[in-house]
Amino acid sequence: MTLSAENLRVDSAAGHFGPYGGRFVPEALISALEELDLEYHKAIQDPEFNQELSGLQKNYVGRPSPLTEAKRFSEYAKLRVFLKREDLNHTGSHKINNVLGQALLTVRMGKKRVIAETGAGQHGVATATAAALFGLDCVVYMGEEDTQRQALNVARMKLLGAEVIPVTTGTRTLKDAINEAMRDWVTNVETTHYLLGTVAGPHPFPTMVRDFHRVMGVEAREQILNQAGRLPEAIAACVGGGSNAIGIFHPFIDDETVQLHGFEAAGDGVATGRHAATLTGGSPGILHGTRSYVLQDKDGQTLPSHSISAGLDYPGVGPEHAWLKDIKRASYHPITDTEAMDAFSLLSKTEGIIPAIETAHALAGVLKISDQFKPTDIVVVNCSGRGDKDVETAAKWFGLKI
C-alpha cells in the first residue's frame, strides 16, 4: 500500500487530536521537527519513496503478514479470534513498519546517525536492524532495569552493530530512556534523527508513526473480508505508547460497527498503584513533548509505572488514544500481569504461538470481554510480537528451570 494523501486522516496542522498532542519541547528542537514534518509530507507524495518502502515491506519484512484464525484459542474465548501475525515480521514485532519508514526519511534528510529509546528492546532491535541495512550509526537508550529483563534483545542490538546505553536515572525504564534520547537529540540534532518508536512525543511523531503502522490495519481489513466475508465485530490490541493499537485501529475508525478495544498493563492491579494503565488510571497532562493522559501527581510530576511487560511499562500514552477514549470511539481496559501471563500460556498451548508478553495483554483482554459477544462474532487481535525475548521472564513466572 502507499501512504497517499487521501487515505490519511487529516489532523489539524499543529498535530492536535482534540485538546491532545501538540509540541512541548525546547525551542532547539523546533527546526528539526519542522524539517521532519516537511520531509515526511514530501516523501509520502513521492512515488519513489512509496515504492522503496513497499518493496522493503514485501521483500525484507515479509509483508503482508498473515491473518491466522486461532480456532483452538477461540474455543476458550467463545468467539472467533483472528490473529494479525506481526510476530512473523523480520525482527519479531510490528516495530519494523515504522522504523523502515523513518530510516528512509533519515537518509533523505542526509543524516548519518539515528538514536532510539527502547523498553522491551523490540524497537531498539528494529532500529539497529534498519541502521545496519542503511549504513547508519545507531545508539539505543534503554533503562537499566529493562536491559536486565530483556538481556537477549540487548545482545541482539549489539550484534547488529548498535551501541546500547543503559539509563540509570529516574525509574531506569522506558520513560527515562526517552529523556536521555531527547537530551542526545537536543545536543546532536544537526547530524542525528531521533527514531522515536511510538505514537507519542511531539508533532509530527504521533501522526507519522501512526501512518507508517496503518499498513497493519489496511491489510487486516482486506484479509478479514476475504477470509470471513465481512468486517469483524471488534479489533483488539495492547496499548503501551499505543503504536500497534493505533496502526490496526486506524483504518477501521470509520467502520462504525467495528468496536475498538485497547488493553493496558494493570501490573499488580490499578487499585494497587503499581500499574501502567495510563488511560484507565491517569489524567490529562504533559509528558515527553505531548499532551495526553499521564500517570502523574497533583504537581504534574510523572509517577513511576509498573508492568511485567517492559514494552507497556510507560506512564504516558499516544495523544490520539486519549482523544479516541474521550470521544468514546475506542475503549481501554486494564489487564493485570497474572491475566496476561495466563493468556500467554493459553495461546502457546492452543495455537503453538508464543506471543510477546505485551501481546498477551490483548489476548487476555479478549478472554475478559468475550461475554459481550456471540460465539459467531469475530475479533481481530493484533499479535504485535513474538515471545522469544520473553522466554526467561515467562520461565521465571511459571517456575520453570532454564
User: Under the criterion CB under 8 A, does residue 55 sit at the interface with other proteins?
Assistant: no
Phi, psi of 167 (to 5 degrees): -100, 125
Q: Is 285 in the site for other proteins (CB under 8 A)?
A: yes
Please report how many Cα atoms fall inside a 13 Å half-sphere around the Cα of residue 205, on the Cβ side.
31
Which member of 107, 152, 186, 231 binds other proteins (CB under 8 A)?
186
- Nearest distance, CB of residue 325 and other proteins, angstroms: 19
Of the residues 39, 86, 117, 145, which is catalytic? 117
CB of 298 to other proteins, least distance (A): 7
Annotate each residue in 2-21 with x if it binds other proteins (CB under 8 A) or - if it does not, as one string. Answer: ------------x-------
Q: What residue spans of 71-204 are helical by DSSP H?
A: 71-77, 95-108, 122-134, 144-149, 151-159, 174-188
- Give the footprint of other proteins on residues 59-88 (CB under 8 A): none
Instruction: Examine residue 287 and tell whether it contacts other proteins (CB under 8 A).
Output: yes
Residues 139-178, one symbol each (x = binds other proteins by CB under 8 A, - = not), give ------------------------------xx----x---
* Cα distances (angstroms) measured from residue 203 to each of 199, 245, 302, 318: 10, 19, 21, 11
In the set 145, 325, 384, 389, the catalytic residue is 384
- What does the block give as the cell for 252? 477501521
Torsions phi, psi for 372 (to 5 deg): -80, -5
- Binders in 189-248 for other proteins, by CB under 8 A: 189-190
Residue 29-48 contact track with other proteins, rule CB under 8 A, x = bound? xxxx----------------
384 assigned to active site: yes
Catalytic residue among 65, 86, 95, 180: 95
Stretch that binds other proteins, among 26-34, 127-135, 245-253, 320-328 (CB under 8 A): 26-34
Which of the stretches 23-31, 134-142, 250-258, 349-357 binds other proteins when contact is defined by CB under 8 A? 23-31
Instruction: Give me the sign of the Cα torsion angle 9, 12, 15, 18.
Output: negative
Q: Is 296 in the site for other proteins (CB under 8 A)?
A: yes
Q: Which residues contact 122 (CB under 8 A, 6 or more apart)?
A: 91, 92, 93, 95, 153, 311, 356, 385, 389
Helix (H) or strand (E) holding 267: strand 259-267
**Pick 192 or 309: Cβ nearer other proteins:** 192
User: Virtual CA dihedral for 211, 329, 19, 247, nearest 10 degrees?
Assistant: -20
Q: Rounded to the nearest 10 degrees, how much is the dihedral formed by the CA atoms of 5, 15, 126, 361?
A: -110
Residue 234's φ and ψ, nearest 5 degrees, are -155, 155
Nearer to other proteins, 217 or 289 (CB): 289
- Please state, in angstroms and rounded to a whole number, the distance separating the CA atoms of residues 385 and 320: 22
**Residue in 214, 288, 325, 333 binding other proteins, rule: CB under 8 A:** 288
What's the distance, CA 147 to chain centroid?
A: 19
Q: Which of 61, 182, 215, 330 binds other proteins (CB under 8 A)?
A: 182
Q: For residue 227, how far is the Cα from the chain centroid?
A: 26
What is the contact surface with other proteins in residues (CB under 8 A)?
14, 22-32, 169-170, 175, 179, 182-183, 186-190, 285-289, 291, 294, 296, 298-302
Active site residues: 95, 117, 384
